[in-house]
Structure 1
Amino acid sequence: MEFSVGGRLEVRVTTADVGKRVSVRRIEKDAPKGEKFTDTVGVLTSWDAGVLVVTRRDGERVRIPESSLVAGKVVPPAPVRRRGPSASYEELARVASRAWQPVERERLGDWELRAASGYTRRANSVLPVGEPGLPLDEALTSVRAWYAARGLPAYVQVSTGAEGTQEPLCEELERRGWTREVTAELWVGSLAPVADRELPGGVVLSRTADEAWLSRYQRKGVSEVALEVLGSGPSVWFASAPGPVGEPPAAIGRCVVDGRWAGFAAVEVDPARRRQGLATAVMTALARQAMDEGASAGWLQVEEDNAGARALYAAMGFGAHHAYHHYREPEDPGSVAGGSSVESYRSL
């Protein structure tokens, strides 16, 4: 990383650069010999009281005392991905939202408030693509009231790591006491390499999540609301790889086809039959169906600590496009706890 101008380091960022992507170098006074400097690249999300906050691609916030800076500059947006299909954050955010629809929604300016009786955070959180049309504090007050009226905690789904994502909003939420509970990534890849894989016989596709499919689905006791969310989307398919007679399917998956995009979810395998290619078979069958409907690109969401899924999808040619995070409202005496819906929030 080079900051020198004529052999001299310079700090060329100011408070006016908040919201821009920067690269800064700071001195570590107590660092071991040879590790005197630390470099940080990300979005400058605040600069207050002598402290800079830089949000990295994965959402990590780095606090840097102004006094420790030795160099800094504004840098261009992160380079466009060369692997897989190109897409903007906004396009993917809206495609992903259409693939997992709430049962109730309302607009607050450009923000979308979503609710589905607590079934998953994605269907019970605000999607803030654009501006709310109100000052932020007023918007958040309206958000909390809307979810409180439904007996739900308020969540905001905020993304980082791509052009057009919401690093400054992350900073403002944390400044107001909102807590980040889950971080995941949205990955994209081309469908053809997945669809071209050898497909063992036996994978069955259906338009509905029948009892057999649901018996393998990790969320037990699926409600009518959950079934409505599972079945939502422009063109929804459910895949099952059969298991022994009388037992749940060995593997399942879900896909939503939406124009050029196919979104994969709920890819689950019998723990006793993992590493036998069953997840790949389900993905292949769904990818072929999606290509038959005109799709060419795929997307999926994976939690940052799911090493097995990440390895599987990377081998299929998928890679991270951006990270997203669910922020929960501050807990205070006047907040609503969300009651029996809390269990559903343990998943995305």
Structure 2
Amino acid sequence: MDSVTELEQRCADAWPALVDEPLGQWRLRAADGFTGRANSALTTGDPGVPVPAALERVITFAAAHAIKPAAHVVVGSASESAVAGAGWRVDHDHPGGASSYVLTGALSEFACPKSEGVAVLPLPSPEWWNLTAQDNPTAAQRHVLGSGHVVGFGEVRREGVVVAAVRGAVVGDLLHIARLAVVESARRTGAARALMGALAAWGLERGATRCALQVAEHNEPALRLYASLGCVEHHQYRYWVPA
């Protein structure tokens, strides 16, 4: 099993920000405000300078890229203690929730052949964009969701309409799964499970053996789905901001 630092770094590689600058082992990320993960400093490892000085760099970087200064901090880590000691606080006002779970699982546990209407495509369709982002995605959305070395865009079509979508990105032997969305009329009909099974099979074909998912703590339907697929908690992280 990856260490927390290794897994967080792989997830960051799979979710490319528009700007990603190293600060020692930290990563300063910006993407015009699209998602907390792509617009926060990943604080795993040693920043190479005292943490208060590193956090000042986070604030300066955020101002230069017109985003809110934020730190992505693993719960219970040495970084969390240091960030708290520098006077920062948990961002309870974060739109997606301050805290998230990182789940991992074996793809072989839920991979299945594609059923009718289910596909994993090399390019996102307009309907895929509409369901996972918006009709006319911004440059930041296109970069974060649309770029990567090995990326697949899963969708479920019923009567010609996309009713479920998901993004998968392979980094080494890890399939990073994100942006799962199902229209309300198709929920609890097996669409999400069929889509996840097809994406897992797609990842296995490309050398991945396991998956990682980052899920907001309040997203109980998603947590129940992933638990039923054999995914378990690896660790948690929270967003911190200047007090």
TM-score (norm 1): 0.65
* 1:307 and 2:220 correspond: yes
Check the 8 A contact 2:155/2:166 in 1, yes or no: yes
CA drift at 1:199: 4.1
CA drift at 1:220: 5.8
Cα distance between partner residues in 1 of 2:62 and 2:214: 25
Other-structure match for 2:104 = 188
**For residues 209-288 of structure 1, what are the structure 2 equivalents within 5 Å?**
209-219=124-134, 221-245=136-160, 247=161, 249-288=162-201
* 1:297 and 2:206 correspond: no
Check the 8 A contact 1:185/1:301 in 2, yes or no: yes
* Structure 1: 5+ residue stretches without partners: 1-85, 331-348
1:39-66 superposed Cα distances (whole Å, 9 cap, x missing partner): xxxxxxxxxxxxxxxxxxxxxxxxxxxx
**For residues 1-348 of structure 1, what are the structure 2 equivalents within 5 Å?**
86-160=1-75, 166=77, 168-175=78-85, 176-181=87-92, 182-195=98-111, 197=112, 199-219=114-134, 221-245=136-160, 247=161, 249-330=162-243
SS of the aligned residue for 1:250 comes to: strand
Check the 8 A contact 1:205/1:237 in 2, yes or no: yes
Other-structure match for 1:9 = none
Q: Percent of aligned positions with the same letter in both sequences?
A: 31
Cα distance between partner residues in 1 of 2:181 and 2:234: 23
CA drift at 1:302: 1.0
Check the 8 A contact 1:108/1:132 in 2, yes or no: yes
Cα distance between partner residues in 2 of 1:174 and 1:210: 43
SS of the aligned residue for 1:230 comes to: helix
Check the 8 A contact 1:153/1:329 in 2, yes or no: no
Check the 8 A contact 1:204/1:240 in 2, yes or no: yes
CA drift at 1:262: 0.7
CA drift at 1:243: 3.0
* Structure 2: 5+ residue stretches without partners: 93-97
Cα distance between partner residues in 2 of 1:145 and 1:296: 39
Comparing both chains, which one has the higher relative contact order based on Cα–Cα distances under 8 Å and sequence gaps of 6 or more? 2
Cα distance between partner residues in 2 of 1:135 and 1:259: 32
TM-score (norm 2): 0.91
Check the 8 A contact 1:98/1:234 in 2, yes or no: no
Distance change in 2, residues 1:108/1:198 (3 Å): closer
Q: In structure 2, what residue type is equivalent to 1:229?
A: V
Cα distance between partner residues in 1 of 2:146 and 2:176: 13
Distance change in 2, residues 1:262/1:177 (3 Å): closer
CA drift at 1:212: 1.3
Q: In structure 2, what residue type is equivalent to 1:194?
A: F
Cα distance between partner residues in 2 of 1:149 and 1:259: 33
1:173-210 superposed Cα distances (whole Å, 9 cap, x missing partner): 33403333310011001001111x46421112212222
CA drift at 1:146: 1.3
Cα distance between partner residues in 2 of 1:114 and 1:218: 20
Q: In structure 2, what residue type is equivalent to 1:295?
A: A
